[in-house]
């Protein structure tokens, strides 16, 4: 940090970026909303990694969490409901030099954008997907989401959500070419930061589900987990997400899980309780689509014109 | 002189191939090969068309495609094949009735007869093995059909083509098309060596035996025609000085994408657009580009928009149902001023409609498909050559005006094959490298010029240009704004760009005299048929002209002035309009063809329309008949 290296030499970067460089408009989420914590963590990671702000693109769909790009001081793309991922993949396809964060919600990602979620995981392009999962539609005022617990009363299901919730972890783990799956919670800032940092560092598509509270509609949905931290299962491993000792103490239930084990990850994800936090799966060796889609980027004009002439030759008479 | 007349009169005889053969000279000929699906008629016709193009003839080929991949054999609906119209002059359309048809069975001919493909005097070369079919019902069908064809005036030659092929190949179903190609080479005095060259090129990666076998079949067909048919014609051609390309419209689109300097095509399979993507899938990477097959139509345009936003203007290619699915993203691209090229290869609609057949039904959807006001540039290619050049133009317009550009083509252009001048490539056509220099301090992301609405665009990577693009109403700083002035201002500026674009366009050229009794207005693939019909009517003394629009949004300038010089203005289109004579129809309820709607609204001229939705190109003969009908006063035009 601050350019001070292990041998006590000081590396002076051309410009040192501070948190302010990553700050956009003032966040207008409700007080107490979990989104603020995610925003802080992402800005800190950018600062700690010293990524030039102009090289960062925050992409989102529609929903409360999709306001995220407006509060970043980087480039941003606030697009259509459910469609953040195709845009993010398109950005990365011919600009692999850009760092892409995707902010989405449980409705945006798991419902209207479900098709893109499945395929973006398979494309495995190097970017971080943060799903702000508050179990409800907030912006449109309290409708059932795919992760709403059965029985949750909402404006669309006033007598309670009809079906058991979708399990995004098992679904994501089941997608071919998945390379990074993690889960964290908004009320443990240290774990949130460590998880997003590991996701950012991963070369490939990082899926991070953040369990977070909507103070307006679902302030109580994770109350049981907060009151009884033993219901959270902290995943620990040498290759996993690391916490300081002081933070570790907050998680009485722990499980040593090797993130290279897909069968272990499935078993953990499929259990209703305890709720896992940490790294479920990581495989940095899986093929990344942008290495294919960016082929030919450096082709010189002369070479391109010559190749075009050869292409035309095939139709010449 | 056409083929049937030349047979009647015996005039125009010239020396043909071989010492004792007299060939009759023709200005042009229309030939069809029809078969069951999978018998290779299209391949034979494509080679025949290519040989003719290489010999310097004008050529237009159009595929006859059944809707199903494997329709039942010997069925009328299953007619699969190809039409080749070739002549001494430039050929711009499929023409009217065929002069000569080769049919592999008699039932597929019924399918073509139902489409009005033939006339009395059309020569039919018919496979005769069905006469001796073991199933009595088939033999009866065949004999009844031949009798019916002759009663309709077709000149039927029953030929043992399959039996002749059997001497060379155990499976004539696979080889008969090459035999037919050989026959046609003799009949139309094509150099048979050119057919061998094409076969060698097509089967370059196959065994030498395959090539030898195909050459033997071509030679056998050639000799068979010489020995058994007294049919020999010549369609002379002028040697060309100019280098030419021969492609179909979808290949031309693909070449255009590459020549435009775009590096990314994001697509989802849909008929009839997919063939353009198929072509690019093989070719694009050789020029440094990439084809992304997305998970759906929506993701395809989203991916393209992502690349465009990041500085690499991209392309998506689709057809009607895909255009419908892309609507929301097109609105976003308009709202956020993202350059983007959207090619729409139109097919019959609504809904799944007629996937393999032509229609010009997407004009209003392209213009007005999005909720709210979504102005964008819309162009329509009228020739196969324009399919190439217009993509290059579209990319440049998209970037200069910071807007999506929709390029409309259709199934007729997509599968039609035509020779056209090989473009002189230029580095200017390619996209410049993306600007990654620092963004000028204080310049907002939408620094709209108050006159033109045009503004420069920050590209990710440009330090100091960081902005958040949003589909919400926004200020010139791209800040979300719900106040009345900001939304009005944004809409004004986006619309202003179309006025700015229009100010750079010239009025369209009138084909024919600048004033007269009737002006035909068209757009897209009908150009060749309209101009041919107008030319014929003018030669007969009718005061008719035509004008063909390439820009549909904004419209080219000067239209009202052009229209004012004609007593009547009529659009000819391949899309739906109410015919005025049907029950309940009044001038107030009548729904006009799409261009007519648009032009009536823009010019307040009482423009009439003549259109139909039969899944077929409009042929010059039909347009000519309508021109004559109107000008002879049979139709009292409303003006």
* CA pair distance B365, A255, nearest whole angstrom: 57
The nearest CA of chain B is from the CA of A135 a distance in Å of: 25
Residue with token string 């290949």: B251
Answer whether B466 sits within 8 Å of A54, measured CB to CB: yes
CA dihedral defined by B169, B170, B176, B177, rounded to 10 degrees? -80
Kindly report the CATH number that applies to the domain delimited by B510-631.
3.40.50.920
**What pLDDT is recorded for position B5?**
82
Those residues whose C-beta lies under 8 Å from the C-beta of residue A189, and which sit 6 or more positions away, are A37, A40, A41
Q: Give contacts of A292 with chain B, Cβ < 8 Å.
A: 290
Average pLDDT for B129-156:
95
Task: Report pLDDT digits (tens) over B401-455.
Answer: 999 999 999 999 999 999 999 999 999 999 889 999 999 999 999 999 999 999 9
Quick one: closest CA in A to B423, which residue?
A312
Quote the percentage of chain B above a pLDDT of 70: 97
Nearest Cα neighbor of B410 from B349, B341, B452, B453 is B349
Answer whether B245 sits within 8 Å of A90, measured CB to CB: no
The nearest CA of chain A is from the CA of B512 a distance in Å of: 32
**What pLDDT is recorded for position B639?**
38
**What pLDDT is recorded for position B501?**
98
Answer whether B287 sits within 8 Å of A55, measured CB to CB: no
Closest CB to B255 among A53, A88, A311: A311
* Fold agreement between B3-234 and B510-631: no
| The two structure tokens encoding residue B101 | 């048809």
CA distances from A89 to A203, B251, B317, B367, B476 (A): 14, 27, 18, 28, 27
Element (H, E) at B22: strand B22-25
Q: Give contacts of A311 with chain B, Cβ < 8 Å.
A: 255, 258, 283, 286-287
In sequence order, what E strands does chain A have? 56-60, 75-78, 99-105, 127-133, 136-137, 143-144, 180-185, 205-211, 232-236, 254-256, 275-282
Q: Give contacts of B263 with chain A, Cβ < 8 Å.
A: 94, 296-297
Quote the percentage of chain B above a pLDDT of 90: 87
Region class of A308: left (phi > 0), else alpha (psi between -120 and 50), else beta: alpha
Task: Report pLDDT digits (tens) over B172-182.
Answer: 888 999 999 99
Note whether residue A297 is domain-resident: no
Note whether residue A257 is domain-resident: yes
B3-234: CATH topology = Pyruvate-ferredoxin Oxidoreductase; domain 3 (3.40.920)
B557, pLDDT greater than 90: yes
**What pLDDT is recorded for position B279?**
96
Average pLDDT for B268-275:
96
Q: Give contacts of A294 with chain B, Cβ < 8 Å.
A: 290
Task: Report pLDDT digits (tens) over B481-527.
Answer: 999 999 999 999 999 999 999 999 999 999 999 999 999 999 999 99
Quick one: closest CA in A to B310, which residue?
A91
**What pLDDT is recorded for position A5?**
73
Whether residue A215 contacts residue A33, with contact meaning beta carbons closer than 8 Å, is answered with: yes
Helix axes B249-259, B274-283, angle to 10 degrees: 50
Burial class (CB in 10 A: 0-12, 13-18, 19+), A230: exposed
Answer whether B264 sits within 8 Å of A88, measured CB to CB: no
Note whether residue A114 is domain-resident: yes
Q: What is the largest CA-CA distance in chain B?
A: 87
Q: Give contacts of A74 with chain B, Cβ < 8 Å.
A: 466
Strand partners, A137: A143
Tell me the three state secondary structure of residue A278. strand
Nearest Cα neighbor of A82 from A65, A104, A64, A59 is A104
Note whether residue A296 is domain-resident: no
- Sign of the dihedral through C-alpha A301, A303, A308, A309: positive
| A1: contact with B, CB 8 A cutoff | no
Element (H, E) at B559: helix B559-563
**ipTM for the whole complex:** 0.96
Q: Does domain B245-425 have CATH number 3.40.50.970?
A: yes
**What pLDDT is recorded for position B241?**
82
Q: Which of residues 5-44 of A touch B (CB under 8 A)?
A: 24-25
Q: Which of residues 118-147 of A touch B (CB under 8 A)?
A: 118-119
**What pLDDT is recorded for position B77?**
87
CA distances from B335 to A9, A255, B473 (A): 50, 49, 8
Nearest Cα neighbor of B52 from B215, B240, B201 is B240
**What pLDDT is recorded for position B10?**
64
Those residues whose C-beta lies under 8 Å from the C-beta of residue B601, and which sit 6 or more positions away, are none
Note whether residue A306 is domain-resident: no
| Best residue of A20, A54, A291 to probe chain B, by most B CBs closer than 10 Å | A54
Predicted confidence pLDDT, tens digits, chain A (317 residues): 556 677 777 776 678 999 999 999 999 999 999 999 999 999 999 999 999 999 999 999 999 999 999 999 999 999 999 999 999 999 999 999 999 999 999 999 999 999 999 999 999 999 999 999 999 999 999 999 999 999 999 999 999 999 999 999 999 999 999 999 999 999 999 999 999 999 999 999 999 999 999 999 998 999 999 999 999 999 999 999 999 999 999 999 999 999 999 999 999 999 988 999 999 999 999 999 999 999 999 999 999 999 999 999 999 98
**What pLDDT is recorded for position B11?**
66
**What pLDDT is recorded for position A108?**
97
Quick one: closest CA in B to A112, which residue?
B298
Quick one: closest CA in A to B282, which residue?
A311
* CA pair distance B99, B117, nearest whole angstrom: 9
Q: How many residues does chain B have?
A: 639
Answer whether B306 sits within 8 Å of A25, measured CB to CB: no
Average pLDDT for B360-367:
98
Backbone phi, then psi, for A51, in 5-degree steps?
-85, 125
Domain that holds residue A141: 19-288
Residue with token string 């090969």: B33
Burial class (CB in 10 A: 0-12, 13-18, 19+), B282: exposed
pLDDT band at B22 (very low <50, low <70, confident <90, very high): confident
Count residue pairs from A and B with Cβ separation < 8 A.
194
**What pLDDT is recorded for position B263?**
97
* Average pLDDT over chain B, rounded to an integer: 94
Domain count, chain A: 1
Average pLDDT for B338-350:
97
pLDDT band at B65 (very low <50, low <70, confident <90, very high): confident
| CATH code (residue A159) | 3.40.50.970
Q: How many residues does chain A have?
A: 317
Average pLDDT for B5-17:
70
Quick one: closest CA in A to B240, which residue?
A317
B18, pLDDT greater than 60: no
């Amino acid at each position: 940090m601050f350019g001070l290296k292990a041998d006590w030499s000081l590396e002076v970067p051309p410009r040192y970026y501070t948190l302010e460089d990553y700050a956009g408009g003032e966040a207008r989420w409700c007080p107490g909303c979990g989104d603020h914590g995610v925003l802080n963590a992402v800005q800190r990671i950018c600062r700690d990694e010293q990524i030039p702000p102009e090289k960062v693109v925050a992409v989102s769909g529609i929903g409360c969490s999709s306001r995220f790009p407006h509060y970043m001081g980087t480039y941003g793309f606030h697009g259509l409901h459910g469609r953040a991922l195709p845009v993010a993949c398109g950005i990365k396809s011919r600009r692999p030099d850009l760092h892409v964060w995707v902010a989405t919600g449980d409705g945006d990602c798991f419902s209207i954008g479900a098709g893109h979620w499945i395929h973006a995981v398979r494309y495995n392009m190097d970017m971080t997907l943060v799903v702000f999962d508050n179990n409800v539609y907030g912006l449109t005022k309290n409708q059932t989401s795919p992760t709403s617990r059965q029985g949750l009363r909402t404006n669309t299901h006033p007598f309670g959500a009809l079906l058991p919730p979708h399990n995004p972890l098992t679904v994501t783990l089941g997608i071919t070419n998945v390379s990074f799956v993690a889960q964290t919670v908004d009320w443990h800032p240290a774990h949130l930061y460590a998880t997003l940092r590991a996701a950012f560092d991963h070369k490939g598509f990082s899926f991070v589900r953040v369990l977070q509270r909507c103070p307006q509609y679902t302030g109580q949905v994770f109350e049981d987990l907060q009151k009884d931290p033993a219901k959270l299962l902290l995943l620990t491993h040498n290759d996993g997400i690391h916490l300081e000792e002081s933070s570790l103490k907050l998680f009485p239930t722990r499980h040593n899980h090797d993130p290279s084990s897909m069968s272990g990850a499935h078993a953990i994800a499929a259990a209703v309780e305890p709720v896992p936090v940490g790294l479920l799966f990581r495989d940095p060796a899986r093929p990344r689509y942008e290495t294919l889609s960016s082929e030919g980027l450096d082709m010189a004009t002369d070479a391109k014109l010559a190749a075009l002439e050869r292409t035309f030759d095939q139709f010449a008479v | 002189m056409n083929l049937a007349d030349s047979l009647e009169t015996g005039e125009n005889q010239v020396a043909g191939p071989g010492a004792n053969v007299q060939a009759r000279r023709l200005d042009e000929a229309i030939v069809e090969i029809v078969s069951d699906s999978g018998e290779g008629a299209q391949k034979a016709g494509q080679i025949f068309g290519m040989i003719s193009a290489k010999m310097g003839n004008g050529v237009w080929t159009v595929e006859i495609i059944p809707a199903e991949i494997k329709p039942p054999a010997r069925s009328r609906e299953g007619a699969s094949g190809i039409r080749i119209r070739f002549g001494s002059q430039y050929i711009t359309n499929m023409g009217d009735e065929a002069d000569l048809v080769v049919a592999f069975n008699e039932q597929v001919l019924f399918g073509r007869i139902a489409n009005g493909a033939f006339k009395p005097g059309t020569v039919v070369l018919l496979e005769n093995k069905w006469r001796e079919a073991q199933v009595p019902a088939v033999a009866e069908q065949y004999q009844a059909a031949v009798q019916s064809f002759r009663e309709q005036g077709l000149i039927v030659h029953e030929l043992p083509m399959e039996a002749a092929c059997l001497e060379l190949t155990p499976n004539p179903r696979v080889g008969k098309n090459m035999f037919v190609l050989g026959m046609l080479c003799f009949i139309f005095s094509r150099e048979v060596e050119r057919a061998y060259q094409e076969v060698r090129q097509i089967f370059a990666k196959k065994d030498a035996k395959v090539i030898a076998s195909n050459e033997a079949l071509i030679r056998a067909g050639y000799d068979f025609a010489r020995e058994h048919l007294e049919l020999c014609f010549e369609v002379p051609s002028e040697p060309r000085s100019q280098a030419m390309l021969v492609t179909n419209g979808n290949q031309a689109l693909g070449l255009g994408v590459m020549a435009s300097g775009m590096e990314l095509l994001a697509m989802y399979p849909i008929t009839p657009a997919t063939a353009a993507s198929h072509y690019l899938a093989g070719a694009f990477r050789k020029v440094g580009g990439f084809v992304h097959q997305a998970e759906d139509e929506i993701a395809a345009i989203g991916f393209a928009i992502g690349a465009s936003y990041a500085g690499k203007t991209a392309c998506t290619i689709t057809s009607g149902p895909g255009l419908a699915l892309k609507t929301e993203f097109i609105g976003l691209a308009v709202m956020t001023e993202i350059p983007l090229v959207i090619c729409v290869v139109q097919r019959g609609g609504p809904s799944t409609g007629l996937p393999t057949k032509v229609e010009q039904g997407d004009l209003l959807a392209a213009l007005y498909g999005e909720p709210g006001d979504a102005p964008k540039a819309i162009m329509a290619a009228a020739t196969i050559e324009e399919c190439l050049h217009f993509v290059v133009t579209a990319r440049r317009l998209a970037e200069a005006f910071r807007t999506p550009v929709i390029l409309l083509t259709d199934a007729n252009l997509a599968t039609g094959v035509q020779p056209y001048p090989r473009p002189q490539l230029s580095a200017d056509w390619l996209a410049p490298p993306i600007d990654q220099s620092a963004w000028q301090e204080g310049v907002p992301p939408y620094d709209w010029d108050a006159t033109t609405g045009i503004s420069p665009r920050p590209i990710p990577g440009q330090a100091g240009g960081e902005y958040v693009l949003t589909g919400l109403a926004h200020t010139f700083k791209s800040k979300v704004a719900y106040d009345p002035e900001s939304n009005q201002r944004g809409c004004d500026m986006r619309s202003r760009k179309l006025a700015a674009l229009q100010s750079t366009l010239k009025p369209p050229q009138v084909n024919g005299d600048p004033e007269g009794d009737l002006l035909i207005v068209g757009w897209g693939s009908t150009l060749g048929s309209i101009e041919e019909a107008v030319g014929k009517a003018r030669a007969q003394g009718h005061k008719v002209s035509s004008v063909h629009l390439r820009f549909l949004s904004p419209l080219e300038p000067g239209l009202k002035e052009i229209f004012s010089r004609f007593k009547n203005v009529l659009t000819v289109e391949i899309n739906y309009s109410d015919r005025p004579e049907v029950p309940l129809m009044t001038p107030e309820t009548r729904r006009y063809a799409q261009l007519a709607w648009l032009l009536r609204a823009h010019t307040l001229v009482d423009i009439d329309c003549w259109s139909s939705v039969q899944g077929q190109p409009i042929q010059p003969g039909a347009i000519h008949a309508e021109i004559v009908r109107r000008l002879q006063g049979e139709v009292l035009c409303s003006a």
